[in-house]
Amino acid sequence: MDFYGVELSSRLLLGTARYPSPKILEAAIRASRTEIITVSLRREGGEQRAGQAFWSFIRELGVRILPNTAGCHSVKEAVTTAHMARELFGTTWIKLEVIGEADTLQPDVFGLVEAARILAEDGFDIFPYTTEDLVVAERLLEAGCRVLMPWGAPIGSARGLNNLFGLRAMRAHFPDVPLVIDAGLGVPSHAAAAMELGYDAVLLNTAIAEAGDPVRMAQAFALAVEGGRIAYAASPMEPRDMAAPSTPVVGKAHLT
């Protein structure tokens, strides 16, 4: 798998919020075998630089950081946060969020495209949190994005893949664009289903962080992602309207 020229073996991206403790977060990251974790700048902000201990802890894990503009509701706020993240984390990668609706945390797709265009011109490698809308996807690619991250369901909802038709259409319409399901996954079977659709990776946080045993759940998601990808590569059979016997009829003994 390739994101902006970086080759990765793991197809599971992990968020770092809401874990019971740093120790459990570290164990979950290792159990997931992820190579990319997202970090919100708000965890590092403040005049007292209170997040420095957390940042030092994250650096010791040896994984790639994908800073996140989580919680931004305007283009200006998202762009400013992205520039601060580049300075703090020393990376051009940015997970771009511009939230447009408070209850569902649905992206403001108009602001998202505008912010993506500004950041692409400033040299950022953008991972946009978007919907499965094909027109919006086209605009994001035109703005300079080379990865798309459509939601499966609202953030933290654990509802899985709400719009299978739309997600299938996006995969078919953009066969050569890396696609990552971002948000809404609740159990490993949701992740496996996303991979079976041909998506390149999944990103999740709450489903692992709020599980009764986050470390075991991280391991379960890692296995589900791997299994789903293998199944997709194996070209699974299509659904049928009628039954088809698995045992051949030819050569069957006939009693007289």
Dump pLDDT digits (tens) for 33-75: 999 999 987 645 544 455 667 777 878 888 999 999 999 999 9
Q: State the pLDDT at residue 200.
A: 98
Instruction: Name which of 111, 198, 81, 105 is nearest 157 in CA terms.
Output: 105
Q: Is 102's pLDDT higher than 60?
A: yes
131 is in an annotated binding site: no
Integer-rounded Cα Rg, in Å, for the chain is 20
**Alpha helix segments (H runs only) across the chain:** 22-32, 52-59, 75-89, 109-121, 134-143, 164-173, 188-196, 206-209, 214-233
Looking at the chain, the whole-number percentage of residues with pLDDT higher than 70 is 93
User: Is 183 annotated among the ligand-binding residues?
Assistant: yes
- Superfamily holding 2-234: Aldolase class I (3.20.20.70)
Does the annotation flag 38 for ligand binding? Answer: no
Residue 249 phi/psi, 5-degree rounding, is: -85, -30
Active site residue 23: no
Backbone angles phi, psi at 6, to 5 degrees: -105, 120
The label of the residue with tokens 């505008």 reads: 114
Q: 3-state class of 7 per DSSP?
A: strand
